[in-house]
Copies of this chain bind each other. A is one copy, B any other.
């Protein structure tokens, strides 16, 4: 504990994942004073056609603009 789940779109590089888990771990260390080795981060990736806002699937809104938008 603490246990962090980050839900993001599929397709981020391993490099970005390394940065993400390190940055999120540092965030909890700085905000809560938690020891890094107590912090678990789980990246939960989803497919573009499994996520919707306002009743419309992401895949129907977005075509191939993923990397720059960082979603």
Q: Which residues of B contact A44 (CB under 8 A)?
A: 46, 50
Q: How far is the CB of A2 from chain B (nearest CB, A)?
A: 4
CB-CB nearest in chain B for A9: B1
Interface residues on A, range: 35 or more
Shortest Cβ distance from A22 into B: residue: B55
Map CB proximity to B onto A49-65 as digits: 1 under 8 Å, 0 otherwise: 11111111111100000
Knowing A1-B71, A24-B24, A28-B20 are in contact, say whether A7-B42 is a contact too (CB < 8 A): yes
Closest approach, in angstroms, between the C-beta of A65 and any C-beta of chain B?
Answer: 12
Instruction: Name A residues whose Cβ lies closer than 8 Å to a Cβ of B.
Output: 1-9, 12, 14, 16-28, 30-46, 49-60, 68-71
